[in-house]
Amino acid sequence: MSPAIVILGSGLAGISVARELRKLDKEVPLTIVTADDGGFYSKPSLSNALAAGKSAPQLVLTQREALAAQLNVEIRSHTRVTRLLPGEHAVETDGGRLEYRRLVLAFGAQPIRLPIEGSGVGEILSVNSLTDYAAFRARLAGAKRVAILGGGLIGCEFANDLRIAGNDVEVFDLAPQALGRLLPAQAAAFFRTRLEAAGVRFYFDTSIVRVERSEDGLVLTDTQGKNFSADLVLSAVGLKSETELARAVGLKANRGVVTDMLLATSDPDVFAVGDCVELQGLVLPFVLPIMQQARALAKTLTGTPTTVSYPAMPVVVKTPACPTVVCPPPSGAVGTWCEEVEPAGVRALFEDADGKPLGFSLVGEAVKEKQALAAQMPAWL
């Protein structure tokens, strides 16, 4: 018998849908197909696991077998989906063909690669899975100096984690400040000062264009011809939703796989969830949106069509050297940042012309106000 529901991908999105589904229906046959090992791990902990001294296997919260039993699902691990066949209600994998009644795409996102040249390019790492983390940790064993490409959320988290673990860390970013548009100027300055005090070195307005392997490490070169040396280069310049398989069969895709408010793609029996989704123009590759999506989708899949709603969802930046919370205003929102700078932190509110708050950023002690401010923000969807 073909399983009623097939979920493709076993990241937080795929597993959360399965969990939520099982709260509503214990019996409906459910299969998860994943290129991974299929154990459940917390992806956010990849960027604070070094300081905790954790190896990749130690990050697995639930082993595949236990998860399969707990959720009453079949997990086809180490299986790559090669083609979607929505017309036939089937998918092709490197382990055979599989039919479905309802399909859930939870393919996640892939690291963006910068157009860098040189003999060391093949050695540039990015960390977006447990396997990547294992490789990264193994390579770190003989590495002291780490260069990080990208001073965004994930780049800064790794920078802080690597410092705590005892590495020399340099962060390069094309932007003039850390965390891009998530922080207004004074909050960004505060953040930078704190991370620098912890030993992280930042190079802003700097774009690395070449990485060469030399005898004693890697040599990075920026657009000005300036050289920097490192033992390891970590790229953290952002993620790109995985849309290829959907696009290949004509499912509507833009920056992500485009869905309606029910998370249905342009094929009504194919749904999408997680980092691969674009909903109302929003691609939000974070934990909280995934939880909102998973709960709504589980209801829809069990017969109660339920639209996704997004309250304002602040993101905690895991940089212990400078506690930080960001809750960006909706894109295109018109307003100004008002920053209150104290010695111990900065509280920044993004306000519209009437003084109504639309977003905020908190650094240092100001993070205490996260809950109170989040409650005042307008919902995103």
Partner 1 sequence: MKQYQCIVCGYIYDETLGEPEHGIAPGTRWEDVPADWCCPDCGVAKADFEMMVI
Ligand X SMILES: Cc1cc2nc3c(=O)[nH]c(=O)nc-3n(C[C@H](O)[C@H](O)[C@H](O)COP(=O)(O)OP(=O)(O)OC[C@H]3O[C@@H](n4cnc5c(N)ncnc54)[C@H](O)[C@@H]3O)c2cc1C
Residues near ligand X (CB under 6 A) are: 8-14, 33-36, 43-44, 46-47, 80-81, 106-109, 127-128, 154, 242, 274-275, 285-288, 290, 315, 318
19 binds, among ligand X, partner 1, none (CB under 5 to 8 A by kind): partner 1
CA separation for the pair 302, 293 (Å, rounded): 14
DSSP type of residue 173: -
Residues 56-75 as x/- pattern, contact with partner 1 by CB under 8 A = -----x--------------
Question: How many whole angstroms separate alpha carbon 20 and alpha carbon 295?
Answer: 6
Please give the residues from 39 up to 58 whose contact with partner 1 meets the rule CB under 8 A: 42, 44-45
Per CB under 8 A, 288 contacts partner 1: yes
CA dihedral 290→295→300→305, nearest 10 degrees, is -100
- In the list partner 1, ligand X, none, the entry touching 11 (Cβ below 5 to 8 angstroms by class) is ligand X
Lookup: tokens for 321: 């050297």
Nearer to partner 1 among residue 287 and residue 338 (C-beta): 287
Q: Which stretch binds partner 1 (CB under 8 A): 2-10, 38-46, 130-138, 233-241?
A: 38-46
Residue number, 52 or 248, with CB nearest to partner 1: 52
Please list the residues that pair with 249 across neighbouring strands: none
User: Quick one: DSSP state of residue 330?
Assistant: P
**Interacting span for partner 1 (CB under 8 A) from 78-86, 147-155, 252-260, 314-322:** 314-322
How many other CB atoms are there within 10 angstroms of residue 80's CB atom? 12
Query: How remote is the C-alpha of 239 from its chain's centroid?
Result: 7
3-state secondary structure (DSSP) of residue 85: strand
Q: How big is the chain, counted in residues?
A: 381
Cα Rg of the chain, angstroms: 22
Minimum separation from the CB atom of position 121 to ligand X (A): 21
Q: Does 375 bind partner 1 (CB under 8 A)?
A: yes
CB-CB neighbours of 163 under 10 Å:
22
Residue nearer to partner 1 on the CB measure, 171 or 373: 373
List of residues contacting partner 1 (CB under 8 A): 12, 19, 42, 44-45, 61, 287-288, 291, 314-316, 318, 371, 375
